[in-house]
Structures are given as C-alpha cells and as structure tokens.
Amino acid sequence: MSDVAVVDAGGSNLGSVCYALERLGVRPRVVADAAGLRGARRVILPGVGAAPEAMRRLHEQDLVAPLRALQVPLLGICLGMQLLYERSQEGEVECLGLVPGVVRKLPQAPGIRVPHMGWNALRAMRPSPLLDGVADGDSAYFVHSYAAPVTADTVAASDHGGLFTAVVRHGRWCGAQFHPERSAATGARILRNFLEMDH
C-alpha cells in the first residue's frame, strides 16, 4: 500500500513514523506540497517542535487549504495533532481548525514536570475503531508541553496534572498526542487501526 501520504512539516519524527508504517507493510510517500496529497487514501501529519513554526511551514508549502479540504482520513501525531485544533496558546497561533478547541500549556503542579516526557496510561473515554485491540490502561510514549482539552471528540485521555486528550477523532480528523512510532505494540495497533478504519 503506497497510498499513505506522510506530510513533511519539518518534524524530526518524520523518519521514525515512516519506519513504523513500513513495519506494518505500508510504503508511505513523503509529501511537501498539495500535489503530493493527490490519490492518497490516508494522510499522516507528524510534528515535533513549536506550533507557530509548524504552521508557518505549512503556509509556506501551501498545504493549509489542501489539508483543510481533504476528503480522506487525516491523523495528526504529537504536534501534528495539536495543529488540527482551532488555535494553540503556543505563540497564540491559528491552527488548521479541523477539530474544535484550543491547545493550552500543561499546568505546572507539585511533582508534575513540564514537558511531560515518558510513558503514560491511556484512559478510554468513548468507543472508537482507533482503540480496537487497545486495553484501557495500556501505555503510550509522550513528549509535549501543550495539550488539548478533553471534549466530546476525545477518544482516550491521559493524566498529567489533570486529564488531557491523548487520542481524538472528529469525523475524518484523528490525532494522537503521543508518539505511536515510539509506543511499541500499542502505538503500532493504533496506527494499523487508523489505516484500516472506515471513513
């Protein structure tokens, strides 16, 4: 299957996401412009870094409007998930606006370190094909300082000084705040579920 497009938005996790897909038998194509999205059956938007720089790069690549207009499922990973929302407090930047909500900085609290780095349990919030074969309490690997609030679109949450969205789905738009490519069997299962789910 080579109809999976991975957007090169400058994230350092691009290679590891592609490698994780190859382990699932997928040969993704890396795209950096709207033409590369044509014919894709699935699109993945990885991201590491800061929201303002990532959005600036997407604008420079003329990818903002094509991503908003996609008619196939899109999965945002880490910062890529945050970019799906309306806005991020990080730099007060307008994001893609595909998922309702505002991404905010994780709260500082005694014993709670920001950035949130390491393994953390997933808590299922509503049924979704994205969680098929994933047990409540299975862990995933996180590295982030900002997070999306828990809303009706939250599929799974995690707790770090309070609940935040770990997996989101709003129609065709899906996201994982953690790194599925670094989350062992749990991450691989969620990637496979995204590739195989109905629209």
Give CA separation, 85 vs 62, 95, 110, 135, in Å.
Answer: 18, 6, 28, 26
Residues labelled as active-site residues: 78, 179, 181
Q: How far apart are CA 35 and CA 15, in angstroms?
A: 21
58-88 burial code (b ≥16 CB/10 A, e <16): beebebbebbeebeebbbbbbbbbbbbbebb
- Could you tell me the two tokens for 42? 């699935």
